[in-house]
Amino acid sequence: MIRLTILFLLLTGWQVGHAQTPPALEWADLHMLNGDSHRVMLLGSRSAPYLMLEDGRYLVEQQGIYYLARLQDKRYATSTGEEFGRSASYEESEEKESRQASSTVSAQANPPARTPYRYQGGAFEQPLVVVRVAFSDQGFEYSDAEISSRIFGASGSVSSYFYEGSGQQFRIVPASESDGTSGDGIIRTTLSSAHPDFGSSYGTQSRNLVTSALQALNGKINLSSYDRNGDSWLDPSELGVIVLAAGFEQAYASSATTHPRVWAHKSSVPAVNTAGVWISEYTMFGEQHEQHMATIGLMAHELGHLLFDLPDLYESIGLGESIGRWGLMSFGIWNSGGGKAGDKPAHLIGWSREFLGFTDSVSDTGGIFLNSASDGGEVLRIDLDEYRHGKRLMVENRTRQGFDSGLPSPGLMITEIDDWRGFGSLSSLTARHSQRLVTAETTHTGSNIVTDSSGIMIESASSVTLADGRVTLTAVASGDRAQLNVQSSIKPKGFAIGYDELPANATWGAYGGDGYALVTVPVSSDVLSIDGIDFYAHGSGTVEFGLYTSASRYSGEGRLVEKKSSVQEGWNRLLFDAPPEIPVDTIYLQIISEPSGQHAPFLVDIQGPPSGQTKVKERLDYAFGDASFDLSVKLLVSSSDQPIERAPATASSSSSSSSGGGGSMGLLCLVLSLGLLRRRPLR
């Protein structure tokens, strides 16, 4: 029996990193203990919130006391030590400690093995359950009917937002529960302890709150009926869990928010066993945005993390630049459309919608028409890498319609995507490749270019030159159905194909030890040659890789090609000296990774459903064993102009209906078409 070592970074335990909502960039009233009131702008992030006064001075809060602050690097505020005043909700420290006391609830140990279940695109009904939590000193402000309508209603709701943005494919529905009004998706519980009032600070108190909320599901909902793949776990795509805390939402007004408060986030707790089913992941919001009920933008943003693993794209995170109010995963969560902040959140940008299968992308040259994102419009994809794994441009049409009615301005939005930047818990490894995963193009060259005041949205142009002159857009006109002509000197030769669905989120193997992998790859007749691999390395070292017609690399007749290369931290493109002809319809990719320091031999995806085609071992004399994950490796293939199809997966990935079932893992579920690596509904 082989020994498998995996460092779980995302799926188990209490996460060090939390997906969190940025504050609303709006003016608010800050009420002081002495009766004074000040207008303040809400700035910063969950980890470093601060306020700006109308006169330009900055404030930071420390336990209800506001201090004047200095701004560093245009992003971080540090206290000068000079007290400005005390919050109207300020409490003495001994009262605060008493208020935050809460009972400890322990999660049960020894959960079973987990088989990830994720949405794969296509028509899908996503069940959600909302656990409303009240406290001994803080009750509910709004009725269950109001909350249910805000999340599941036919219009102006979280559900209608995702339905519109997915081209009417993805529908959020209330879970079937028996608490209060049966079937409204709402479950209530009241704790005997005071509101923990942890705001933007996470720890034991937030962990206990979530654990209590998960245990409140017991007896009020048939959890096992949502376990689609039968692994005794509930992944968010099987049943999403929202913890809605009575009290206030700090993401709305930052440190000016009324107490008691929480800061919206998505995270996980040590697995909780409720009625024989294990749950770990959740998202949490506060019920009130000061004088009104929480709006949907913040909820949709955190569900983007929970249900789809989408990354934050606001600039303080370092993955997105100039996205601003044009995308849900940035400050677009607070768009109002003439209502309250967050009533009309921006749709997901084109990269996110393509990643989820919410829209098609086109990669043709010549005349192109693009419908509005609010109507499920497609995006134009222009690959800048010959294997379509690296940099690319995306062009999308954004109009002030539907939920996009709150956009700062309409027009054509051009973004540059860099796949090698990555996102998730290990994205720092790819920082040397690029500063941003997504960058909105704001510097345009060409002729007769008309943009909005931000320079982001193009209204019209005779020509726009991009990618150092390699791509030119002409006769550009925005509108309900935008049109443009595309010319590109870049001719992609093939694709980068892999079993991993998400960027690396875990390591495999002993740090400093070798790793061996065997990957079975079905080959389409449209594959002209296999040219090499893109390998995601945990650190520097060497990688020996080769292609074989049999699973044994020591069969002289079965060896097609081998090579040994040095690698550095992050993505590495490793090409064969002479790509071989492929004489069979199934080949075997074998990789030996030899780290040069205290690094793991392989980076892997444990959140996407495993393909069942990957085997690993830690020593040469061990036997290969099946992996419950897939490697962060892409096979580089040259192909004809025909789509490359491979057999669909089953089991742990989602089906295109709402009643997915079990089954065994098949082959890859990816579809490769011209210039496009995307998902399709599973049959």
Residue 187's φ and ψ, nearest 5 degrees, are -125, 135
Q: Where are the beta strands (DSSP E) in 353-400?
A: 361-362, 366-371, 379-383, 391-398
Residue 252, H or E segment: helix 250-253
pLDDT reported for residue 25 = 62
Whether 502 and 452 share a structural domain:
no
Residue 181's φ and ψ, nearest 5 degrees, are -80, 110
Q: Does residue 107 surpass a pLDDT of 90?
A: no
**479 within some domain:** yes
Q: pLDDT grade, residue 649 (50/70/90)? A: very low
Q: Does residue 92 surpass a pLDDT of 80?
A: no
Is the model more confident about 445 or about 24? 445
CA distance 23 to 364: 39
pLDDT reported for residue 103 = 33
Whether 476 and 510 share a structural domain:
no
Whether 302 and 159 share a structural domain:
yes
Residue in 236, 632, 117 with CA at minimum distance from that of residue 426: 632
Is 572 buried (19+), middle (13-18) or exposed (0-12) by CB count in 10 A? middle
Q: Does residue 16 surpass a pLDDT of 50?
A: no
**325 within some domain:** no
pLDDT reported for residue 611 = 93
**515 within some domain:** yes
> What CATH number has the domain bearing residue 630?
2.60.120
Whether 388 and 442 share a structural domain:
yes
Name the residue with tokens 């088989």. 115
Whether 338 and 430 share a structural domain:
yes
Determine which of 101-105, 292-296, 448-452 has the lowest per-residue pLDDT on average.
Answer: 101-105
CA distance 627 to 2: 11
Contacting residues for 174 by C-beta, under 8 A, at least 6 apart = 127, 128, 129, 148, 151, 152, 183, 184, 185, 186
How far is CA 349 from each of CA 323, 329, 374, 422, 444, rounded to the nearest angstrom? 8, 8, 11, 16, 19
Whether 50 and 130 share a structural domain:
no
Looking at the chain, the whole-number percentage of residues with pLDDT higher than 70 is 84
Q: Where are the beta strands (DSSP E) in 265-420?
A: 265-274, 277-289, 292-293, 320-321, 361-362, 366-371, 379-383, 391-398, 411-418
Average pLDDT, the chain: 84
pLDDT reported for residue 383 = 95
Whether 506 and 367 share a structural domain:
no
Look up residue 432 and give its amino acid: R
Whether 469 and 503 share a structural domain:
no
**Residue 396 near residue 462 (C-beta atoms within 8 A):** no
Whether 155 and 239 share a structural domain:
yes
CA distance 255 to 235: 33
Taking only Cα atoms into account, the Rg of the chain, rounded to an integer number of angstroms, comes to 26
**111 within some domain:** no
Residue 147's φ and ψ, nearest 5 degrees, are -65, -45
pLDDT reported for residue 339 = 96
How many domains are there within the chain?
A: 4
* Residue-number span of the structural domain to which 71 is assigned: 22-90
Residue in 326, 355, 310, 332 with CA at minimum distance from that of residue 415: 326
Tokens of residue 45, six digits: 């992030």
Is 108 buried (19+), middle (13-18) or exposed (0-12) by CB count in 10 A? exposed
Strand partners, 518: 590, 615
Residue in 197, 210, 221, 218 with CA at minimum distance from that of residue 283: 210
Q: pLDDT grade, residue 554 (50/70/90)? A: low
**651 within some domain:** no
State mean pLDDT over 512-539.
94
Domain end position, chosen among 276, 309, 342: 309
**507 within some domain:** yes
- Between CA 553 and CA 564, with CA 558 as vertex, the angle to 5 degrees is 45
pLDDT reported for residue 607 = 85
CA distance 120 to 279: 21
pLDDT reported for residue 8 = 33
Q: Does residue 645 surpass a pLDDT of 70?
A: no
* pLDDT tens digits for range 29-64: 787 777 778 888 777 766 677 888 877 888 888 777
Name the residue with tokens 């069942």. 612
Domain end position, chosen among 90, 105, 135: 90
CA distance 475 to 487: 11
Q: Does residue 544 surpass a pLDDT of 50?
A: yes
pLDDT reported for residue 481 = 95
Residue 161's φ and ψ, nearest 5 degrees, are -60, -50
Q: Does residue 648 surpass a pLDDT of 50?
A: no
Residue in 296, 373, 385, 316 with CA at minimum distance from that of residue 573: 385
pLDDT reported for residue 132 = 99
Query: Is beta strand 65-72 parallel, antiparallel or unpaired with respect to 124-134?
Result: unpaired
Tokens of residue 549, six digits: 């017609």
Length of the chain equals: 683
**97 within some domain:** no
Whether 505 and 540 share a structural domain:
yes
Tokens of residue 113, six digits: 């093995």
Q: pLDDT grade, residue 185 (50/70/90)? A: very high
CA distance 438 to 458: 18
Is the model more confident about 13 or about 378? 378
Whether 443 and 414 share a structural domain:
yes
Determine which of 265-279, 448-462, 598-612, 639-653 has the lowest per-residue pLDDT on average.
Answer: 639-653
Domain end position, chosen among 476, 492, 508: 492
- Between CA 453 and CA 394, with CA 444 as vertex, the angle to 5 degrees is 100
State mean pLDDT over 585-610.
93
Whether 298 and 380 share a structural domain:
no
State mean pLDDT over 559-570.
95
**658 within some domain:** no
111-126 burial, b at 16+ Cβ within 10 Å, e below that, comes to beebbbbbbbbbebeb
